[in-house]
Amino acid sequence: MTEEKDKTPNPSRRQFIKSSAIAAAGFMIVPRHVLGGKGFIAPSDKLLIAGVGAGGKGQSDIANFYKSGKAEIAFLCDVDDRRSAKSRSDFPKAKYYKDWREMFDKEHKHFDAVSVSTPDHNHAIITYNAMQLNKHVYVQKPLTHDIWEARMLTEAAKKYKVVTQMGNQGSSNDGTRLLSEWYDADLIGDVHTVYCWTNRPVWPQGIAWPPPQPNIPKELDWDLWLGTAPKKDYVDKLVPFNWRGWWDYGTGALGDMGCHLVEAPFRVLGIQYAKDVQASVGSVYVDEFKEGHFPESCPPSSHITLTFPKTEKTKGDVTLHWMDGGIQPERPVELLASEKFGGEEGNGTLFIGTKGKMYASTYSDAPTLLPKSLTKDAKAPQKWARVPGGAEGHYAQWVEGCIAGYGKTELSSSFDKAGPLTEALLMANLAVRGHELQGGRVKLVWDNQAMKVTNFDAVNQYIKRDYREGFVLKA
């Protein structure tokens, strides 16, 4: 763990070091549980975390790290004092910053790990800078805003040998492991087609950019919020949530829910990089026969089809359908007329094999064989260890992995897993943007090694964007 200085915000840890020195001078070795009582965790065995993004999802992430009992929240950083208020109240000893760059510069010797929970467009620059400081990182999904960023972070995690985790907590659920065991036991045969669907967006999309507002809330540092994105005037309701529907900041419904719903197909089938993708998108009409043209905004709905090459776990290519905006696949014929189809809150994943079908809900909850009557008596050898606490245990798994050190434990969504998953989803978004550029549906052919589309160059501009001065990401 990081060496403590006298000015550390953790005096209990400083006292522990002093006590240890006194014990050593007297040639005494006393077990920590004797010194601190049953269940005592020595301060030197706790992970010191700096949280970048302390409101909303960041607030719950930070709280869950602390709940593990093996972490201390040493620093908090947020561009919006309103959003960070609850975390600052919950962790009053944590020093607070607005600019993560200043916090990293001044305090990097005093924390071990960084949690990143900001809008998508700032994930990569914060994460990469943290890894350069040899800090372990937990990053909210999607891992990055751009494909190049995902590849770069995946490689950087190996280079800097830090413990990583993406915040798609369903990857720690029992459900995704059970689905994998069912498949490995050949209960549904060879899977060739997968459907993933969501009710997102649950925020405005397919709309015009709103008019600027002259009064920026005094608690918000708008320039820091923009970060890597182009300089623009402040607009209402972009912060704290509706940024998801704008290409400069978010990655649409795919970015929000894809990492949750497509994780199971990646695990179960061993798929990684897609070889082609196509999309159809929902239209918006602003008058009779007058279609709206809003290139800055994600469309209101889409159906995207990705083709993944044959893997060691499939007999041929796998076709994966992504549907958002409330669009869902046809009900499986195995369902009785009165049985509901779909997942919790309008999200789900359906596997279609040569011998049967199976599906699950958000976070791979409620895994089900079809017909449903097969689920109760399904038998398959347990091959994969379960994560204590499932989705909630996703946070403690990372904390414990950081304490153990790089390469000592396997994590559910380390960057070697999260990176390829994120790349596939962002490649799907290339097809959505290609639809806008082409004025219709095209199939994009992907060269994974070169990281580019080979047959429609116009979309390659979105693989790696230009960064704003002061927030340039250099690998």
Could you read off the pLDDT of 154-211 as tens digits, one per residue? 999 999 999 999 999 999 999 999 999 999 999 999 999 999 999 999 999 999 999 9
Residue 268 forms part of a structural domain = yes
DSSP state of 267: H
**pLDDT, tens only, 232-291:** 999 999 999 999 999 999 999 999 999 999 999 999 999 999 999 999 999 999 999 999
Query: Is there a single domain that holds both residue 150 and residue 278?
Result: no
Query: Is there a single domain that holds both residue 203 and residue 118?
Result: no
Cis peptide before 230 (omega within 30 of 0): no
Query: Is there a single domain that holds both residue 266 and residue 250?
Result: yes
Query: Is there a single domain that holds both residue 284 and residue 330?
Result: yes
Tokens for 366? 């409620």
Last-in-domain residue among 117, 144, 170: 170
Query: Is there a single domain that holds both residue 200 and residue 230?
Result: yes
Query: Is there a single domain that holds both residue 195 and residue 163?
Result: no
pTM value? 0.90
Rg of the chain in Å (alpha carbons): 24
**pLDDT, tens only, 1-15:** 443 333 344 433 334
Query: Is there a single domain that holds both residue 244 and residue 353?
Result: yes
**pLDDT, tens only, 15-54:** 433 333 333 333 333 333 333 344 445 556 899 999 999 9
What's the confidence (pLDDT) of residue 458? 94
Q: What is the DSSP string of 139-190?
A: EPSSS-SSHHHHHHHHHHHHHHT--EEES-GGGGSHHHHHHHHHHHTTSS--
**pLDDT, tens only, 344-388:** 679 999 999 999 999 999 999 999 999 999 999 999 999 999 999
Residue 12 forms part of a structural domain = no
Query: Residue 438 — very low, low, confident or very high, per pLDDT cuts 50/70/90?
Result: confident
Task: Say if residues 342 and 348 touch (Cβ distance below 8 Å).
Answer: yes
Query: Is there a single domain that holds both residue 91 and residue 149?
Result: yes
Please give the residue range of the domain that contains residue 81: 47-170
Residue 55 forms part of a structural domain = yes
Task: Say if residues 394 and 418 touch (Cβ distance below 8 Å).
Answer: no
Query: Is there a single domain that holds both residue 206 and residue 305?
Result: yes
Query: Is there a single domain that holds both residue 216 and residue 154?
Result: no
Long-range contacts of residues 366-369, Cβ cutoff 8 Å, at least 24 apart: 366/175, 367/175, 367/178, 367/179, 367/182, 369/182, 369/187, 369/188
Q: Percent of the chain beyond pLDDT 70? A: 90
**Strand, coil or helix: 453:** strand
Task: Say if residues 411 and 387 touch (Cβ distance below 8 Å).
Answer: no
CATH number reported for the structural domain that contains residue 346 in this entry: 3.30.360.10
Task: Say if residues 145 and 339 touch (Cβ distance below 8 Å).
Answer: no
Based on the number of CB atoms within 10 Å of its own CB, is 230 exposed (0-12), middle (13-18) or buried (19 or more)? exposed
Query: Is there a single domain that holds both residue 151 and residue 210?
Result: no
Q: Quick one: which of 121, 100, 120 has its CA closest to 51? A: 100
Q: Strand 318-324 to strand 191-197: parallel, antiparallel, or no bridges (unpaired)?
A: parallel
Last-in-domain residue among 170, 191, 213: 170
Last-in-domain residue among 146, 170, 194: 170
Residues 6+ apart with CB under 8 A from 154: 415, 416, 418, 419, 420
Per the structure, the count of domains in the chain is 2
CATH number reported for the structural domain that contains residue 88 in this entry: 3.40.50.720
Measure the CA–CA gap between 190 and 73, rounded to whole angstroms. Answer: 46
Query: Is there a single domain that holds both residue 259 and residue 245?
Result: yes
Q: Kindly tell me if the per-residue pLDDT of 219 is higher than 60.
A: yes
Residue 473 forms part of a structural domain = no
